[in-house]
Amino acid sequence: MKTTIKLISSIAILLSATLVSATQPNIQILADNSFVLSINEIKSEIKISIKDKYGYKLYKKNVTAEDGKFLQKFSFSNLPDGTYKLEIEDDLKVVLLAINVEDNKIVSKNVTDEKVFKPVVYKKGENVYISKFSPEKEPLKVVIYDNNYDVVYKETLD
């Protein structure tokens, strides 16, 4: 049991080091009600999408590691006022950026930023391991279902 805990701790440390070193998206807001999104050093496939307040996707694109980087200008000049979500998703996390439009202008350079880290699940031998980077130390709820979608295991990990 102690060996398993040490292994999981080691994986969590390695995972956190990888996440910290990952390149963050950069947004430059321009005067013409547009912004430029740049992402350098793409190491795995990422999904980029822009959604309106109802969750409807206005834009989506998959970028591969072969592309290396992403640079694109987005115009909000024809969009109504409101809050739009820019989502950048890779294998380990989802970065959510809120972009506010008022009076047909992007109103603030202080774009809010939120990261949601995904759990990593893998099987080694007869064991299943779950690891999740959680800088806020939030609990992880684990629910395992069988083929009939009946709950066979349920636990909240602190």
DSSP 41-77: S--S-EEEEEE-TT--EEEEEEE-GGG--EEEEEE-T
CATH class of 23-117: mainly beta
The per-residue pLDDT for 16 is 47
The per-residue pLDDT for 113 is 65
The per-residue pLDDT for 79 is 86
DSSP lists the bridge partners of residue 122 as: 129
Is the separation of the CB atoms in 154 and 143 below 8 Å?
yes
Task: Name the burial class of residue 16, with classes exposed (0-12), middle (13-18) and buried (19+) by CB atoms within 10 angstroms of its CB.
Answer: middle
For 55-110, write each residue's pLDDT tens digit.
Answer: 999 999 988 877 788 888 888 888 898 888 888 888 888 888 888 888 888 876 44
- Written as one letter, the residue type at 64 is T
Share of the chain above pLDDT 70, in %: 82
The per-residue pLDDT for 56 is 92
> How is the chain split into domains, by residue range?
23-117
Mean of the per-residue pLDDT values of the chain = 79
Is the pLDDT confidence value at 53 over 70?
yes
Per DSSP, 23 falls in state P
For 98-117, write each residue's pLDDT tens digit.
Answer: 888 888 888 764 455 677 77
Is the pTM above the cut of 0.95? no
For 126-155, write each residue's pLDDT tens digit.
Answer: 888 888 787 778 888 888 899 999 999 998
- Calculate mean pLDDT across residues 17-30: 63
Confidence of residue 21 (pLDDT cuts 50, 70, 90): very low
